Structure 1
Amino acid sequence: MAEEKNNSKNQASNIKKVNAGDMIEIKSGLEQGKKGKVVMVRENSVIVEIGRNTKKDEPINTVVNHKNYKLIK
């Protein structure tokens, strides 16, 4: 029982501490190497704006798992 509680605490501490508005770089996936601005932080992932569609003037968003990006300082 004590080990299960410690494991859940460790998993919670492994989640990256990003906030809406932070800049990140995507480490893997189709958008690898692209940089973007965090729009929303979820429990298992973040929603990132990686560009804008000039024809429709809409943002281009993607969802990235917490382990697949790094925070840009």
Structure 2
Amino acid sequence: MDEETEKVSKGKKADVGDTISIISGSEKGKKGRVIVVRDNSVIVELGINPKKDEPIKTVISHKRYKVVK
């Protein structure tokens, strides 16, 4: 995606199905789709592992991502 055409919302918690951009931590700079929303974090699917054909998932604190519109 082109950085100029993306809109990033500050301070909004993500909903299931939203795309987020990770702004800190070991996955910094990656984008993923929210699959579960918790009180303090979200579970995100980052892609598919080609060797095992399984989804790559991680947990991200609400403080460490921005919602991409």
Q: Choose between structure 1 and 2 for higher RCO, CA contacts under 8 A separated by at least 6 residues.
A: 2
Q: Cα RMSD over matched residues? A: 1.2
Write the mapping of 1:1-73 to structure 2, written as runs, cut at 5 A: 16-73=12-69
Bigger helix fraction:
1
Checking the alignment, whether the CA contact within 8 Å between 2:32 and 2:46 is kept in structure 1 is yes
- TM-score, with length taken from structure 1: 0.76
Aligned equivalents of 1:71 and 1:17: distance in 2? 7
Residue in structure 2 matched with residue 6 of structure 1 by the alignment? none
- TM-score, with length taken from structure 2: 0.80
Bigger strand fraction:
2
Q: Please, which runs of 5 or more residues in structure 1 have no aligned partner? A: 1-14
User: How much does 1:16 deviate?
Assistant: 3.2
Runs (4 or more) in structure 1 with deviation over 2 Å come to: none
Q: Please, which runs of 5 or more residues in structure 2 have no aligned partner? A: 1-10
User: How much does 1:46 deviate?
Assistant: 0.2
> What secondary structure is seen at the aligned counterpart in 1 of 2:63?
helix
Identity %: 63
Aligned residue identity for 2:19: M
Checking the alignment, whether the CA contact within 8 Å between 2:20 and 2:34 is kept in structure 1 is yes
